[in-house]
């Protein structure tokens, strides 16, 4: 079993003490977002690898030596201000954390995500070009692979359409921006791929790949018989997410996981670092099933 921590919220940035408590206890409970009375219990002895997805790895750095399960990091670093990413303040600290993480675990285990890309009057193609070059300069020698994606029209995106004021990109726009970004990345010996995008950018130098390939899963776990991830038809191997929707404090206007921002503050108040669940507690009528390998 491979855990995704997490596509539903930023556990590393906001709930890392809870996560370490769960690792110490040996199990974690995950409420099904579609059938709330159904709870999956995951025993960490059945977990073969962890994919940490975060916008801020700094809180987990002090705990790295306590994590005995093989892991890699996918870290999102984008050039937006507080008009787009309301809860992210210090990008310099995040870059410094990526560098420290790379030094400690090796750059082959640190994937940079420059996503999602949105284009508007402020965040133009030229803006992204300059921002991406600056980021690559700072991370030169510490990152060797970059994953990009473009904004999709999730509920939250549609709710903020006026504030985002996004330009609709043509096929030519995708190719032109892709060409500019891959040209920059190659100067710093970084390879690039897209994440679950319909636009094929291999013609301008992108790698055709998934974010969690069978090859990567094999290198982490030593086995190759992982099934395809049913949650998304993207080519990644199967993962289990232990997060919860509407709980992330970044408040990014393009996010799919925070689709009801009023609920985020309420849910975060229900978090108890000692609970087996990320949000709230087990209830008497919950149906708990142990998730097998």
What sections of the chain are H helices per DSSP?
A: 11-14, 16-25, 91-105, 125-138, 155-159, 161-164, 171-187, 214-221, 261-269
Encode burial over 164-195: b for 16+ CB neighbours within 10 A, e otherwise: bebeebeeeebbebbebbbebbeebebebbbb
Structure-block tokens of residue 221: 């776990």
> 3-state class of 212 per DSSP?
coil
Measured over all CA atoms, what is the biggest interatomic distance in the chain, rounded to whole angstroms?
58
- Which pLDDT score is estimated for 156? 63
In sequence order, the β-bridge partners of residue 42 are 28
Q: What is the pLDDT along the chain (293 residues), one digit of tens a residue?
A: 999 999 999 999 999 999 999 999 999 999 999 999 999 999 999 999 999 999 999 999 999 999 999 999 999 999 999 999 988 878 999 999 999 999 999 999 999 999 999 999 999 999 999 999 999 999 999 999 999 999 876 666 777 777 788 888 899 999 999 999 999 999 999 999 998 777 889 999 999 888 898 999 999 999 888 888 776 777 789 999 999 999 999 999 888 888 888 899 999 999 999 999 999 999 999 999 999 87
Instruction: Please state the φ and ψ torsions of residue 169, each to the nearest 5 degrees.
Output: -85, 140
Q: How many domains does the chain have?
A: 1
- Which pLDDT score is estimated for 13? 97
Domain of 66? Answer: 2-290
- Which pLDDT score is estimated for 154? 60
- Which pLDDT score is estimated for 226? 87
Cα radius of gyration (the chain): 19
- The gap between the terminal CA atoms of the chain, to the nearest Å, is 5
Angle at 284 between CA 278 and CA 290, to 5 degrees: 60
Output the pTM of the full model.
0.94
Structure-block tokens of residue 20: 């370490």
Instruction: State the residue for tokens 């904004």.
Output: 151
CA distances from 276 to 15, 19, 177 (A): 12, 9, 44
Closest C-alpha to 146, from 130, 160, 133, 159: 133
């Amino acid at each position: 079993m491979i855990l995704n921590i997490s596509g539903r919220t930023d556990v590393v940035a906001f709930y890392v003490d809870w996560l370490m408590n769960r690792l110490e206890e040996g199990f974690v409970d995950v409420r099904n977002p579609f059938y709330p009375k159904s709870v999956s219990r995951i025993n960490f002895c059945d977990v073969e690898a962890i994919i940490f997805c975060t916008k801020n790895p700094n809180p987990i750095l002090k705990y790295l030596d306590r994590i005995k399960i093989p892991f890699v990091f996918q870290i999102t670093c984008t050039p937006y201000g507080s008009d787009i990413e309301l809860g992210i303040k210090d990008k310099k600290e995040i870059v410094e954390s990526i560098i420290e993480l790379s030094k400690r675990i090796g750059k082959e285990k640190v994937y940079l995500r420059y996503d999602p890309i949105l284009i508007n009057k402020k965040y133009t193609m030229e803006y992204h070009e300059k921002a991406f070059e600056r980021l690559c300069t700072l991370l030169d020698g510490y990152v060797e692979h970059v994953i990009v994606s473009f904004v999709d029209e999730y509920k939250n995106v549609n709710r903020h359409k006026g504030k985002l004021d996004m330009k609709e990109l043509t096929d030519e726009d995708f190719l032109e921006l892709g060409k500019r970004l891959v040209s920059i990345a190659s100067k710093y010996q970084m390879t690039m791929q897209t994440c679950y995008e319909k636009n094929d950018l291999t013609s301008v130098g992108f790698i055709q790949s998934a974010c969690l390939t069978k090859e990567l899963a094999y290198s982490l776990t030593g086995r190759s018989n992982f099934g395809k991830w049913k949650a998304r038809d993207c080519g990644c191997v199967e993962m289990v997410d232990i997060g919860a929707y509407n709980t992330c404090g970044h408040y990014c206007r393009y996010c799919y996981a925070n689709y009801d921002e009023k609920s985020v503050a309420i849910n975060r108040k229900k978090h108890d670092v000692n609970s087996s669940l990320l949000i709230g507690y087990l209830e008497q009528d919950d149906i708990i099933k142990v998730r097998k390998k």
